[in-house]
Structure 1
């Protein structure tokens, strides 16, 4: 029987060194990829020159250059649409800071889960640069659609069922893409992967194949808790600088919108969630009016009172008066 065809989709922005490591790892897979689609979100750090050289050398590499930064969500929607138009059996999605181990795709494709028609998406275990498993890349929802990460015991099994998975190695069956559509590109950043794979979980099973390994080089492990030796250290660890709030507000907006989309409207719950975040900003943040107005604006978008309109990071810097 002919091996399953797989196309990888990589989204990148201004991380040339990481992008190169990711592409080289994809080209070295023991289960050869049929195509590698790379969406570059307006990089200006030499990534585009590198991609031009790789595309000229490797027929399997197809590059899409966006005029501006359309976010991870826009990048994955663009790449997945392009790959689906060509037609493959599976689509393997990842950011540029992901590096799959040489046999990562093979472990997915030869797994018992890949052979089951009811399985619509696969992923592997994701490890940080400290080699510890990052548990938050998969998980289940509780009755209020809060995200619950798996435990180390789950990763000790050959595979386990999950309700969602991140776009750090999500491998999605072609038929499932054609049934549920594409990621919500208006999300721009964060929770686009959770929302999309939640859609997939409605039509079939999602499985994490733990023998497949991917390294995620984001530089942190959110599952580790550090003991704070002083009140000052505790306070510092919870700082919410204005410069980072464009993405945290975006993530909160997307999460609330996702819950409304999948579980139905809950305006009081949404208002309380935004209020608690604003309270944290007032206690631990820079207390700028622009930050408060951003959260109010995103609350209105999340509950459907305004159309989605994401503040880009460059525009946010200008709002704060930064270069």
Structure 2
């Protein structure tokens, strides 16, 4: 039987060293990746010069240069659209801070799940730089569409079913994309992968193939809960600095929109969610008017009263007066 063709899609922005490690890992796979599509979101750190050099030596590497930063959501939407038009069997998605282990693709494609047509997407187990499993990359939804991470014992199975998966190693079948379309590029960052794979789960199975391993180098392990030993430590863990709120507000907007798409509008629930977040900002945040205005702006967008318009991180930094 002819091996299935696989295109890798990598989204990158100003992380040249990580991008290089990711591409080198893709080129070194024990099962050849048929094509690598790199979406550069307007990098200015030498990434583009590096990609020019790679293209000159690798005829399977294709680069799409965005004029500006379109976020992870825009990058993956562009990458999937571009690769899909070339017609591969599977599309393997990752950010530049992901590094697939040498046999990661081979393990995915050799799995029983890859042979079952009812499986529309697969992923592998994801480890942090501390070599601990990052469970939050897959999970299920509860009755209120809250995200529930899988129990650790599921990773002792050859594979398990999930309702969503992150774009750190999601591998999606061609005909599934044909049926559900492309990711929501307007999300910019956060929850675009959850929304898209939730869409996929409506038409077939999503499976995590645990023998396939991916390293995620974001330096954060959200599954490790550090219990504070004092009130001061507890307060420190709850801090919400203004500089990070462009991303958190964006993620909340996207989550509400996702729930509306999949379960129907619930404006009172959304108002309650935003109110609780604002209360936390007032207690633990920098209490800037600009932060409150940002959440109110995104609430109006989340409930469908305005079109999505994302404040870019560089613009947010300037608005705070940071150099």
TM-score by length of structure 2 reads 0.99
Could you tell me how far apart the structure 2 residues matched to 1:206 and 1:199 are? 11
> Which whole-Å CA distance do the structure 2 matches of 1:70 and 1:282 have between them?
30
Question: Number of aligned pairs?
Answer: 323
> Helix, strand or coil for the counterpart of 1:276?
helix
1:228 and 1:145 map into 2 onto residues whose CA distance is: 29
Aligned residue number for residue 168 of structure 2: 168
Which residue of structure 2 aligns with residue 278 of structure 1?
A: 278
Q: Give a deviation string over 1:13-60, Cα, whole Å, max 9, x none.
A: 000110000000000001101000000001111111101100111000
1:322 Cα offset (Å): 1.6
Do residues 262 (structure 1) and 262 (structure 2) align? yes
TM-score (norm 1): 0.99
Match of 1:185 in 2: 185
Q: How does 1:126-275 map to 2 (within 5 A)?
A: 126-275=126-275
Q: Give the deviation of 1:319 after TM superposition.
A: 1.2
Aligned pair 1:70/2:70, yes or no? yes
Separation of aligned partners in 2, 1:239 and 1:116: 46
Q: Name the counterpart of 2:294.
A: 294
Structure 2 Cα separation of the partners of residues 184 and 45 of structure 1? 27
Aligned to 1:12: 12
Separation (CA, whole Å) in 2 of partners of 1:64 and 1:235 = 43
Say which SS state the counterpart of residue 307 (structure 2) adopts.
coil
1:100 equivalent in structure 2: 100
In the alignment, the residues of structure 1 paired with residue 237 and residue 40 of structure 2 have an alpha-carbon distance, to the nearest angstrom, of 33
**Cα deviation 1:85-127 (Å, max 9, x = unaligned):** 0000000000000000000000000000000010000000000
RMSD: 0.5
- Tell me, what secondary structure is at the counterpart of 2:213? strand
Measure the CA separation in 1 of the matches of 2:253 and 2:231: 31
Structure 1: gaps (5+ residues): none
| Unaligned runs of at least 5 residues, structure 2 | none
Instruction: Tell me the alpha carbon deviations over residues 189-239 of structure 1, each in whole angstroms, 9 at most, x when there is no partner.
Output: 000000000000000000000000000000011100112121111101111
Q: Residue 21 of structure 2 aligns to a residue in which SS? A: helix
SS in 1 for 2:144: coil
Partner deviation per Cα, 1:129-160 (whole Å, 9 max, x = no partner): 01010000000001110000001101111100
Deviation at 1:254, TM superposition (A): 0.1
